[in-house]
Structure 1
Amino acid sequence: MKKTLTVDVAIIGSGTAGLSAYRAAKLKTPNVVMIEGGQYGTTCARVGCMPSKLLIAAAERAHQVETSEKFGISYNGEHQIDGRQIMGHLKSERDRFVGFVIEGVNAIPEQDRLVGHARFVDQHTIKIDDDITVNAERIVIATGSRPSYPPAWNKLGSKVIVNDDVFEWDELPKSVAVFGPGVIGLELGQALHRLGVDVRVFGMGGKVGPLSDPKVTECAIEVFKSEFYLDVNADVKSIELSEDGSAVEVTHINLNGEVETFTCDYLLAATGRRPNIDTLDIQNTDIALDERGVPIANPSTMQTSVPNIFIAGDASNQLPLLHEAADQGFIAGTNAGSFPDIESGLRRSAIGVVFSDPQIGTVGQTHHQLTNQYHGNFAVGEMSYVSQGRSRVMQQNKGLMRVYGEFGSNKFLGAEFFGPASEHIAHLLAWAHQQNMTVPEMLDMPFYHPVIEEGLRTALRDLNETLRSCNCPKEDCSNCTPGC
C-alpha cells in the first residue's frame, strides 16, 4: 500500500552514526524517522571490531602457548586448535553484541522505523522502495560503507571473500591469501596465521596498517615478516581459480625473487571500503561530491553543500571509526533537528589502534600530515621497545615509538608507534593532545615503575631534548614552525 509521510528529519541508515543521529534529532524535534534497507546491527557489532577481536583473542591464547619456553613452561609443539569451536564461540558472542544493538533499535517507536531501500527524488523527498514517499525538511545520510575490491576478482566466485564472510565460517580453512595489509588485513591475517591457517599477506606501495612514519613502518614490517609471510610490495603475476574451481592460485614473485604459485582456499580482499552512496540516486540533489563521488561535508557541522542535508559516519569517508561515527551522527542529528540553527560540534583528537601483535597506535597528526604542514621542520622523539624494561620482562620487547612536537611552542603534535599495550598508550596521548599539552607538561605527569608507559616517558624526554636544541635559522623562515 502506497503512502506519503511528512517529517521534520529523515535519517537514512541505522548503524552507529544513524542511531546517534536519530537520538540527537529527537531531542530537538519529535517528528523523526529512521530508514534501514538492510539488517539492523552496526558494522562494528556484526562484521567489524567485535567479531574480529574475538578471533584475535583466540589467536592470542594459541600464541601464548607456543611462546612460553623462555619462561620455563614446556610446549611439545602439538596443541590442538578446534576451528569449529573457535568459530562457534565467535558467532555466539557476536550475536550477543548484535542483540544489544537490536534491542536498542526495537526500543525506538515503530512509527519512527521505516524499512526499505531509500533513494533521493529531490533534496526534500525520499522514495522507499516503491511504497513510501517521505517528504523531509532535513535529511541525514548515514548509510555506512561496504568492502571494496577490484571487479576482476569476481571471476573467483565464492572463493573471493571479505571480512563479513570470515565471521560466517563454521570451520577454519587450511589456507588464505590476504590482499591488503591495512587494519583489517593485518588483524585477520595474523590471527588466522596464529590459529594454524597457512596465510600469505600481499600489499602494494610498502604500506602497513595506518602508519606513515617511515621508521615505524620499517620496524613493523620486519617484525611481522618474522612471524608470517608478508610482502608489502607484492609482484603478483596472476590470480586464477584452480582447474577444478576448488582453490585460488596466486602466482607471484616471492620474497626470494622466485616465481611461485600459492594455492589457497580463499582470497580475502582487505583492500578498502566504499561509502554506500552510489545507490541513493544522489544525482537528484545538488550535493557537491569529491573526486570519489562522496558528498563533501563540513567536519565541524557535518552539513553538505545543500543546507538541509547532512552526512555522518562511514558514508562521509572522513574517519571510518566507530567513535567518529557516533560523534558525527550526534553532530549531524543535532543540527538537522535544530535547523536552521547550526552549531559546530565537539571533534576529538584523532586516535587509531590496530589490534595486531604488537599493536599499532596513531594519535593526533601523522608523520605524513606534519611533513606536509611543516615541510619536515618539526621535532621527533624516539624510543625502541627492544630494551624497555617492562616489555622485556613480558618478552614483548618489539617495536618503535615516535612522538612529534612543535618547535617554539613545545606543543605535542602527534605520534605513531608499534609495540605492546599501544591501545592504552594511545588513549594517554590522545587525552594529552586534546588538552593541547606541551611536552614538558606531559613529562610532569606521574609514571609508575615498572610499566610499559615508562617507554613513553623515554620518547617524550628524547622529544623534549630535540625541542630544547632547536637548530632552526634565527631569521624569519616561512618553512619553520612557530618560535624558530
Structure 2
Amino acid sequence: MSNYDVVVIGGGPGGYNAAIRAGQLGLKVACVEGRDTLGGTCLNVGCMPSKALLHASELYEAAVGPEFAKLGIEVKSTLNLAQMMKQKDESVTTLTKGIEFLFRKNKAEWIKGWGRIDGPGRVVVKAADGSEQVLTAKDIVIATGSEPTPLPGVNIDNKRILDSTGALALPEVPKHLVVVGAGVIGLELGSVWRRLGSEVTVVEYLDRICPGLDLKTGKTFQRSLAKQGFNFKLGSKVSSATSTDTGVTLEIEPAAGGEKESLKADYVLVAIGRRPFTQGLGLETVGITPDKRGMLENQKHRSGVPGIWIIGDVTSGPMLAHKAEDEAIACIEQIVGKAGEVNYALIPSVIYTKPEVATVGKTEEQLKAEGRAYKVGKFPFAGNSRAKINHESEGFVKVLADERTDEVLGVHLVGPSVSELIGEYCVAMEFSASAEDIALTCHPHPTRSEALRQAAMNVDGWAMQA
C-alpha cells in the first residue's frame, strides 16, 4: 500500500496537468494511467495526431493543386502515406515523452495500470500483468475522459467502419469516405482524407453542421467546405451499415421520416460525438452515480463525496483539452486552499480545417434569446493585406458587443490561422474589454491580426480597410 496526498485517475490533459500542478504545489501525487504512454486520447489518438495529418495534408494539397503553381513553385509531388503516418507517430511520441519529462521534473509519479476506486480514499491499480496495488490518498481526482459515442445499428470494427482512432491510421486513401456526424472531429478528419484524394460525404442528423456555432459563421463555413468538394446530406440519419472486405453499404433515411436510400463507401467514419468514460471505475463504492447523460456531476469540481474531485470530459461542459487543463489547475489549487476558478463563459472553441473556425463567448442567437441588446462589427479577410497577399482571404471576423456598455460579448472567426488569433479576444474578454479598447490598440502591419482590430472598429461603423 502506498500513500499519497492526491491520486489522479487518468493521464490525459485533465489528469496529467492536475498531477503536474499538484507536484508544483508540493503535494505527493500519483497519476494512474493504463495506456503505454501519457497524454490520454488528445495526445495519443485525438487532437495531436489529427493536427499532424491536417498539416501534412494541407501541404500536400498545396503542392499537387494550383496553389504552389500560382506562387511560381513547380513541383511533381506524390503521396507517401506510410511516411505521412510515420511522421505523425513520431510527433506523438515526442509529445508523450515530454509529459513523462514534466512528471519527473515536478515529482509526479506515474503508476502504470487501470485504476478503480475501492471506497473512500482508496484506489486499486491493476497492471498489465494482472497484479494489483492499493493507493491511498486524502483526495482522489477523477479525470478518466471520454470515448466515442456508438451509433445504434452500426458496428465499429476499425476495419471498414471506423471511429476517430481508426480514421487516423488508414492504410490507404479511400475512394469514397462517408463521415457520420458533421461535428468538429468528423469535419477535421474528413478534411484530411479529402485533401489526400477521397470523395467525402457527410451525413448529419440535424439540418446544419456544427450546431453550436454562430449561425452566420456556420453557414459560411459549410459553403467553404462544399466549395472544396464536401458532399453534405443534412437532416439524415443512418439506420444500418453492412460491411464487407471491400466496403460498406449504408441505409440512410430522412431524420423527419421518409424513403430510405443506399449509400456505398470504401470506409465509414462514425463521429457523432463522445461520451464520458466511467466503465469499471468503482463509483458505486463511494455512492457516486452518473446522470442520465453518463456524466458525473460536480460543484466547482467537487463531487458529492468528500475527497473526490471530478474534471475534464467525464463531467459537464465542452469536451476540450484546454477546458480540462483549466479545471485541473482550479481543482488542485482548491485542494491546497487556493481560490481556483474556471470562467466557462470564455472557453474558446476551434475547428482546424481550412479555413479554420474559432469562437469565444456568446453567439447572436444566444444574445437574441436573452433579450440582450448588442452591436455587430464585421470585417472580411478579403480586406486584410496579409491575407490577400497570401491568397487566403476567405472568411471574416465578427465581434458582438453590448449596445450600452460596448463590452465584447462574443467573437466568431472564419479564416486563416484564426486558432492563433482568438487568444487575443480571450484575454480582452477576461478583462471585460470594450470593442473600443481593441479598436484603439495598435496592431502590427501587415498581419492577419489587423482584421481583429478592424472588426472592433466596425462595431461603431468606422472600419478603415473595407
TM-score by length of structure 1 reads 0.83
Aligned partner letter, 1:422: V
Following TM superposition, by how much is the alpha carbon of 1:232 offset from its aligned partner in structure 2, in angstroms?
A: 5.6
1:83 and 1:135 map into 2 onto residues whose CA distance is 47
Q: State which of 329, 349, 366 in structure 2 corresponds to 1:352.
A: 349
Contact persistence 2:153–2:241 (CA under 8 A): no
2:58 and 2:237 map into 1 onto residues whose CA distance is 30
Would the alpha carbon gap of residues 235 and 351 (structure 1) be closer, same or farther in structure 2, given more than 3 Å must change? closer
Following TM superposition, by how much is the alpha carbon of 1:28 offset from its aligned partner in structure 2, in angstroms?
A: 4.8
Aligned ranges 1:334-349 → 2 under 5 Å = 334-336=333-335, 338=336, 341=337, 343-345=339-341, 347=343, 349=346
Name 2:56's counterpart in structure 1. 58
Contact persistence 1:178–1:270 (CA under 8 A): yes
Contact persistence 1:179–1:185 (CA under 8 A): yes
Query: SS of the residue aligned with 2:207?
Result: coil
Please tell me whether residue 331 in structure 1 is matched to residue 327 in structure 2.
no
Q: Map Cα deviations across residues 85-105 of structure 1 (whole Å, 9 max, x no partner).
A: 222222222222223234444
Q: Map Cα deviations across residues 239-284 of structure 1 (whole Å, 9 max, x no partner).
A: 4325x44311134479xx9976432222112111122224313233
Contact persistence 1:212–1:367 (CA under 8 A): no
1:70 and 1:85 map into 2 onto residues whose CA distance is 24
Of the structure 1 ranges 434-443 and 57-66, higher mean CA displacement relative to structure 2 is found in 57-66
C-alpha root-mean-square deviation of aligned residues, in Å? 3.1
1:107 and 1:319 map into 2 onto residues whose CA distance is 30
Name 1:173's counterpart in structure 2. 174
2:153 and 2:14 map into 1 onto residues whose CA distance is 32
Aligned partner letter, 2:48: M
Name 1:82's counterpart in structure 2. 80
Query: SS of the residue aligned with 1:464?
Result: coil
2:165 and 2:31 map into 1 onto residues whose CA distance is 24
Following TM superposition, by how much is the alpha carbon of 1:226 offset from its aligned partner in structure 2, in angstroms?
A: 1.2
2:73 and 2:324 map into 1 onto residues whose CA distance is 46
Q: State which of 457, 460, 466 in structure 2 corresponds to 1:461.
A: 457
2:357 and 2:329 map into 1 onto residues whose CA distance is 28
Aligned ranges 1:35-74 → 2 under 5 Å = 35-42=32-39, 43-65=41-63, 66-68=65-67, 71=70, 73=72
Of the structure 1 ranges 424-433 and 199-208, higher mean CA displacement relative to structure 2 is found in 199-208
Query: SS of the residue aligned with 1:215?
Result: helix
Please tell me whether residue 249 in structure 1 is matched to residue 249 in structure 2.
yes
1:216 and 1:201 map into 2 onto residues whose CA distance is 19
Would the alpha carbon gap of residues 210 and 79 (structure 1) be closer, same or farther in structure 2, given more than 3 Å must change? farther
Of the structure 1 ranges 181-190 and 40-49, higher mean CA displacement relative to structure 2 is found in 40-49
Q: Percent identity?
A: 25
Q: Structure 2, unaligned stretches of length 5 or more?
A: none
Q: Map Cα deviations across residues 323-375 of structure 1 (whole Å, 9 max, x no partner).
A: 32222212222333x2xx36233648322221111110102334444344x32
Contact persistence 1:121–1:127 (CA under 8 A): yes
Query: SS of the residue aligned with 1:22?
Result: helix
Would the alpha carbon gap of residues 412 and 275 (structure 1) be closer, same or farther in structure 2, given more than 3 Å must change? same
Name 1:472's counterpart in structure 2. none
Aligned ranges 1:6-405 → 2 under 5 Å = 6-28=3-25, 30-42=27-39, 43-65=41-63, 66-68=65-67, 71=70, 73=72, 79-105=77-103, 112-129=109-126, 131-154=132-155, 158-209=159-210, 211-231=212-232, 233-236=234-237, 238-242=239-243, 244-252=244-252, 261-287=262-288, 289-299=290-300, 302-336=301-335, 338=336, 341=337, 343-345=339-341, 347=343, 349-372=346-369, 374-375=370-371, 377-405=373-401
Aligned partner letter, 2:194: H
Name 1:438's counterpart in structure 2. 434
1:246 and 1:258 map into 2 onto residues whose CA distance is 26
1:274 and 1:207 map into 2 onto residues whose CA distance is 21
Aligned partner letter, 1:39: D
| Larger relative contact order (CA 8 Å, sep ≥ 6) | 1
Contact persistence 1:159–1:248 (CA under 8 A): yes
Q: Structure 1, unaligned stretches of length 5 or more?
A: 467-484
1:212 and 1:119 map into 2 onto residues whose CA distance is 37
1:409 and 1:267 map into 2 onto residues whose CA distance is 49
2:106 and 2:397 map into 1 onto residues whose CA distance is 45
Aligned residue pairs: how many? Answer: 452
1:31 and 1:389 map into 2 onto residues whose CA distance is 53
Q: Map Cα deviations across residues 124-170 of structure 1 (whole Å, 9 max, x no partner).
A: 33333473333332111111222222142117673221222233334
Following TM superposition, by how much is the alpha carbon of 1:237 offset from its aligned partner in structure 2, in angstroms?
A: 5.7
